[in-house]
Chains A and B, each alone.
Chain A
């Protein structure tokens, strides 16, 4: 794989040079398939939001999904996380068909996600947010007669998570009081707290300042290399630092996929990004070979 150099796990023994052609899925021999989408189609009344998308995402990969507004990226995410049932097609998580499973069931199988619009418990404190998250997988979440503050293991986990990304001194604050950058971080922390094997990130850098973008990028790079990350992002710059494989969606269809550098050179992708006046920053992000 040409983009393997940027990946933190480049030296990992499971990682091998790509055998397939540029447009083939990023299957690496000996690597488990984390997510398999087969001909996913989604409709809202007349509009086909996702049109027969087929993708194979191996475990441990860093997978980017790009495309213009309305391309169906978030809809596809909602199908992956179980919030939306596709009109047709199947979703397999580590070989298991989860198409008909609810969101909480998929979380139990190792799926965590963030939302494009920050979705936190904004009237709860950061500690309470994180406690809810770390208790998501434990049986004690249905305990009725013991104060949650006395669950030391969970509290330790929550504090460890907060400390690891600089939110330690914010534990007592309500989430609504945090800055936008901190909210984005907390959003990622909540998704990490359920110990996902597959992490879905929906524009984690949206609305952040350039400095904050660098921070969130660093945060993402430090994540466990074994974790499969699928990430929607508008900003190719952010993607380039984190992912090594990119799939491009437009009007619900899969346009192309491949290693990040190759996709950047793809004609249709450049049309999508360069053809529109608003995408001027996309132009510089896409590289120097503009015509």
Chain B
């Protein structure tokens, strides 16, 4: 404000395309962005190491983790960035898997079946999206839950197509020459490669203009509309992308498990995907991968020691919602912040001589980025009328 008198008036048309260069690299990266690389790298190495040194049982578990991680990343793309949490994602995993199985039953080869399946996923996402994006916030959760249950209901009731409760077994797996998905190792490597590709694409997307506008949508839809964004279209595109990602996970699922039944599409599975996202860290893309690891380990490993693993998982999840809204990613960030603070305090203490108390101030450059649920705590919901926290500004009394 102090330079108000000295600067010349801004007229936007005076700015040419050759204006001051945008020094985007100077802008601080959020901690999440800086940490994503190292953590992922480390995780990948560990995982690959374990796979190579163990039998096929573990590799199956890790396939599951990767497949659910893919679907969960889709949930996070739409939920963590656009604020639209879907409880129908498992439905699209199911469509992807059923699509391949049903097409094969009708005589198509595995490659054609994959194509048909992905086309079906896209088509269904495009159609259901028209309905789903009519609403936002809580109602979006409800509507996607209902849509997911339609897919479950179809899988369960349309027995002539889906064999009902028994499910369909995969007939054959695709192959290129010697690279055949009928071998466990090949399936694993393929799943891993697809996982990495989708992770990369989604990370790119959330830093794209569209990703930024999704964050704007979550933050303040009304303002975004006043800036010329057709927010319905954005929700729609986001929904189709998230659903398509789930469909890809579904295709991998059938090639990995060779069986698809309605059990994969139940509400409980929809919930698991959301649990993965929240446990891992909403709004990070990579966090849900850790969430998938945790949930699948609960399901596959802890369940052998503890029959009531679902109770434990439910309690852990509720505790996470209450105490660590940022999930595992949020915890890691907090830990890292604490370390930075400690380091700064030491550095400051040294020149002073004595062992000064660790009084660190303002070391966090960008502490408020991330923690998506925390952010949700301080803002009104998308539906403008429901303000959750007491607004600072005077209320909009004037009609």
Contacts and interface: CB of A to CB of B under 8 A. Distances in A.
A25 interface: no
B336 interface: no
A149 B1 contact: no
Interface in B353-399: 365-366, 368-369, 375, 378-379, 391, 393-399
By DSSP majority rule, is chain B's interface helix, strand, loop, or mixed?
A: loop
Nearest to B376: A123
A216 to B, nearest CB: 9
Contacts of A69: 397-398
Q: How large is the interface on B (under 10, 10 to 19, 20 to 34, 35 or more residues)?
A: 35 or more
A190 B224 CA distance: 10
A171 interface: yes
Contact of B209 (A118, A123, A141, A156): A141
A154 interface: yes
A143 B224 contact: no
A155 B22 contact: yes
Interface stretch (A13-21, A32-40, A174-182): A174-182
Interface stretch (B9-17, B106-114, B128-136, B160-168): B9-17
Interface string A243-274: 00000000000000000000000000000000
A49 B211 CA distance: 38
A219 interface: yes
A136 B229 contact: yes
B89 interface: no
Those 3 A-B pairs whose CB atoms lie nearest each other, nearest first: A155-B22, A149-B24, A107-B228
Contact of A157 (B12, B28, B365): B12
Given A75-B399, A127-B27, A135-B212, 9 more contacts: A49-B399, A115-B223, A135-B213, A144-B210, A149-B24, A156-B15, A158-B22, A192-B12, A215-B4
Interface in B125-145: none
A160 B20 contact: yes
A73 B375 contact: no
A109 to B, nearest CB: 10
A148 B393 contact: no
A160 B10 contact: yes
Interface residues of A, number: 87
B216 A121 contact: yes
Contact of A163 (B7, B21, B225): B7
Interface stretch (B39-47, B55-63, B200-208, B300-308): B200-208
A5 interface: no
7 contacts: A104-B231, A117-B396, A119-B220, A145-B201, A148-B212, A155-B23, A177-B368
Contacts of B231: 104
Which of A69, A81, A119, A207 has the most B CB atoms < 10 Å from its CB?
A119
Contact of B1 (A72, A124, A166): A166
B323 to A, nearest CB: 20
B322 interface: no
A103 B219 CA distance: 18
Contacts of A47: 399
